[in-house]
Amino acid sequence: MQAPSSDLIVSLGEAVRDAARRAGALAFPYFRAGGKTAARLWYKEHSSPVTEADIALDAFLKDQLSRLLPEAGWLSEETIDDPVRLERSRIWIVDPIDGTRAFATGHPDWSISIALVENGRPVLGVIHAPIHDRMYEAVLGRGARCNGESLRASEAEALKSARVAGPKPLMDRLERHISPIERLPKVPSLALRLARVAEGSIDIGLVSSNAQDWDIAAADLILHEAGARLTDFTGTAPAYNKPLPSHGEMIAVASRLHPRAIGAMRT
């Protein structure tokens, strides 16, 4: 990865963090810890839930981020896709509530994910977990932090007994080749699951097929800047702002363990 094209990217960080915090504050009145959300809820295609909180946060973030960088394109889970984005070298990629099912049922593991992508790769990423009061962030070439503290992925030297979170079928597949592993509860927010790999509380994060750009773009950069990698099982990093913004199965793991981890998933 190369450094951002200008100091503009760095200068945006504070405003993006502020937008994420304010979006979290907008969501709080709808959230009921351990219970059903106060927000109206309905279902999109493939039985994917959406709430009025998702829509409210999406509108707020689109307004705020577009003011910061008017020439940038926009891609969000809750906005109808506009192919004009494909003509833009820079694009905001946003999930206003990543982990809507968790949000709607009172589980704390949901987050707000914001990435600025330049020429297909993220250069700025922010993931805000309001209930946990944790703000993960990274700028390309300048490291990753959470609440101001530097992040570093797991320093484990071996895969055996790795702490793994993700879909059960992928954990089963990994454990056939690496035994034993420590199976952690699946984190409903994919962005947050990957951020926890970046902070070292999860050694390996597994991702099922059909993750979307907005699920992973911010986390991808945070992982990279914390010394980890997010790739498919061939070792290829995701590219963003393509006509179809979806991805296949992936793995997030510290760079030193990455070759062995993807080897285990391929065999």
pLDDT digits (tens, 9 = 90+) for 39-94: 999 998 777 899 999 999 999 999 999 999 999 999 999 999 999 999 999 999 99
Split at pLDDT 50, 70, 90, the class of 225 is very high
Residue 73: inside a domain: yes
Nearest-angstrom CA–CA distance, 194 and 163: 13
Give the closest residue to 226 by CA, choosing from 160, 137, 147: 137
What domain range is 106 assigned to? Answer: 8-150
Q: Do 132 and 180 share a structural domain? A: no
* Same-domain status, 206 and 115: no
pTM of the model: 0.96
- Tell me, yes or no, whether 96 and 117 share the same domain: yes
Cα separation, 138 vs 150, in Å, equals: 10
23 and 144 both lie in a single domain: yes
Q: Which of 150, 172, 187 is the last residue of a domain?
A: 150
Count of domains for the chain: 2
Give the pLDDT confidence of 177-223 residue by residue, as tens digits. Answer: 998 999 999 999 999 999 999 999 999 999 999 999 999 999 999 99
For residue 5, the model assigns a pLDDT of 54
Please name which of 92, 87, 100 lies closest in space to residue 54, comparing C-alpha atoms.
100
* Residue 156 is assigned to a structural domain of this protein: no
Of 94, 116, 150, the one marking the end of a domain is 150
The CATH number for 77's domain is 3.30.540.10
Output the 3-class SS for 61-84: HHHHHHHHCCCCEEEECCCCCCHH
Give the pLDDT band of residue 1 (cuts 50, 70, 90). Answer: very low
Establish if 158 belongs to a structural domain: no
Say if 212 falls within a structural domain.
Answer: yes
